Every structure is written in C-alpha cells, then in structure tokens.
Amino acid sequence: MAEAACFLTSAQVRGAFLTACRLDVETAKPGNVSVQSAGHGMQADQFIASAEAAAAALLRRGAPVGQRVLDAVTHTRDAVGCNTNLGILLLVAPLAAALDDLTEPLTAQRWRAATQAVLERLDLDDARLAYRAIALANPGGLGEAPEQSVHTAPTVDLRAAMTLAAGRDSIARQYADGFHDIFGSGLAAFREAPVAQPHVATLNVFLTFLAGWPDSHIVRKQGPAVAQSVTLAARERHTPWRTQCLHAPAQNPLDAAVQRLNAWDAELKAQGINPGTSADLTVATLFVGICLGFAAAHAH
C-alpha cells in the first residue's frame, strides 16, 4: 500500500485501528462487553465485526470527517444491525484525517497539532453528515439538546455543534479542546504500562478515564448521580489495581485487585450500567498509541 505522508502505511493505520478495537473487547473492562463477559444485549464478536466493516470508510485517505463517520456507521449497521461503535468513529475520524495532512515523521505533538487543524476546518457539510450518522446509529439519548439537536438540520459547523455539547459529553469535548484527554491523560496512561502488556495498558487507560470524570453514557442512561458513584468507585479500585499490575508486575495478575474488578463488572452489568464513553475514549487512545509505536519503530 502507499505510504502516508506521516510515514505510516495505510496497512499500519488500519492495523492500529483494528488492534485497538480488538484490545477493547479482549480486555475485561468493568461494565463493558468483553470476550470474557457479554452484556447489554451484545457480544464481543459484534464489536470485532463492526471494526472490520467500518475500517475502510473511516480511514479512507482524503475523505471529509463527516463522510468518514456516516459511511462507517452505515457499514456497521449493515454488518451487525445495531450501534456498537458510534463514539469510536466520531473520535477516530478526525485523528485519521489528521494523519493525511502530516508531512513530517509522526509524533504526538505533531499529530495533535494536525488534529487541531482538521477540527478548525470542519464545516456545515461535516455537521450534516455526522448528524445523519448519529441519527442512523440511534444511540439512546445522544444528540438530544436544546441547541443543534441531531433531530433538526444543523446551522453551524461540526466543531461548533460539538462545542455546544462539550459540557455534557466527553466525545464532544474532544472536538472542542483538540483531543486534550486523548493526547494528555489517556496517552500517559497507555505509556505507563509495559509495551509487552497491551491488555494492561488498555485497562489502565480505561480506568484512568472512568475515574477521571462521570461517564457520558452513564449520565445519559442512568443520570449524573449514578455516573458520579461509578467514577468514585473507579477511583477506589484503580489505585490498588495499578499497584499490583503496574508497580508490582511480577505478582500473579489474577489475584485480589483483578478479581475485585471482575466482581465489579458483574455488579455493573446486573444494574445495566455501561461505561461506554470511557471505552470509546480508550479505543481512540489505543489507536493513537499504537500508531505512535509504529512510527517510533519506523524511525529506528
């Protein structure tokens, strides 16, 4: 395949995306669907099939952000018949578009700057296409808003529409602030784990986001009080897990802290609580981290 300007091949970018999506369901993350634990009426294989179906449209070089999202959602619906990945697609589309623009070797700083440039040139067509994608995916509660609701035609560009929602939605906030959480706390958590332990890195990123602020999906489905309680519980569990799995990795990773997370997973699913936005942010962070790893290896 042709080399991208950032010196990643199209195959590497696709591989990074599919690996990120695979790690998302291979890693048992409390409240989320995984290979080990189905939930919320969905199975892990639906998420893998969704990633495969969406990848070509999402990563198509030169395509506008809104078109990437709509086409990827359409292919996902055709493949699995439900919304498994809207948040992931909304996050990865600007990141992938930014890769097209890079003319120097890929670094986190350059990628973040290129993503900012992509966000600044989003237009009304991007908003129209993204609104169609959100309506097609039909996620519960997403897009309901006093201004620029997805159930009406947008009158502002996509970034402006996302900025209006940034206070109540963590994915919209990435559009507003230049993917600060992905390139900041998310990437730091990814890099904290050993390179040889991608599942540990995945869970560390997820728990970092879940413990950082209330999950937008939980807020929409169960309300802010439940979401805040889950955030506090994540903080209580993340610290002992990090001590065991990151700071004392020689210990058996299947004892106390991990078992505690598995028990919490069952509790959350029994209550229908799904930290889906934290998972979406995790996939986007993994995509960034894996691509940067490919770039670093290429540089050497």
Structure confidence by residue, pLDDT tens digits, 162-185: 999 999 999 999 999 999 999 999
Contact 295, 7 (CB under 8 A): yes
pLDDT, averaged across the chain: 90
> What is the Cα–Cα distance from 162 to 116, expressed in whole angstroms?
14
**Residue 1: inside a domain, yes or no?**
no
**Residue 54: inside a domain, yes or no?**
yes
User: What pLDDT is attached to residue 140?
Assistant: 53
**Residue 287: inside a domain, yes or no?**
yes
**pLDDT of 204 over the 80 cut:** yes
> What is the Cα–Cα distance from 12 to 177, expressed in whole angstroms?
27
Contact 99, 110 (CB under 8 A): no
Tell me how many domains the chain contains.
1
∠ Cα 127 128 130 (to 5°): 65
Phi, psi of 9 (to 5 degrees): -75, 160
| Residue with the larger pLDDT of the pair 296 and 221 | 221
**Residue 97: inside a domain, yes or no?**
yes
**pLDDT of 118 over the 70 cut:** yes
For residue 268, give the CATH number of its domain.
1.10.4200.10
Confidence band for 7, pLDDT divided at 50, 70 and 90: confident
**Residue 3: inside a domain, yes or no?**
no
Predicted TM-score (pTM) of this structure: 0.92
**Residue 216: inside a domain, yes or no?**
yes
User: What pLDDT is attached to residue 153?
Assistant: 86
| Residue with the larger pLDDT of the pair 78 and 3 | 78
Structure confidence by residue, pLDDT tens digits, 13-59: 999 999 999 999 999 999 998 888 877 777 888 999 999 999 999 99
Structure confidence by residue, pLDDT tens digits, 90-104: 999 999 999 999 988
User: What pLDDT is attached to residue 276?
Assistant: 95
**Residue 288: inside a domain, yes or no?**
yes
| Residue with the larger pLDDT of the pair 225 and 139 | 225
**Residue 69: inside a domain, yes or no?**
yes
**pLDDT of 145 over the 90 cut:** no
Q: Identify the weakest region by mean pLDDT among 17-26, 113-122, 194-203.
A: 194-203
Contact 210, 264 (CB under 8 A): no
**pLDDT of 244 over the 70 cut:** yes
**What is the domain range of residue 72?**
10-299
User: What pLDDT is attached to residue 141?
Assistant: 46
> What is the Cα–Cα distance from 165 to 150, expressed in whole angstroms?
11
Residue 3: strand pairing partners: 9
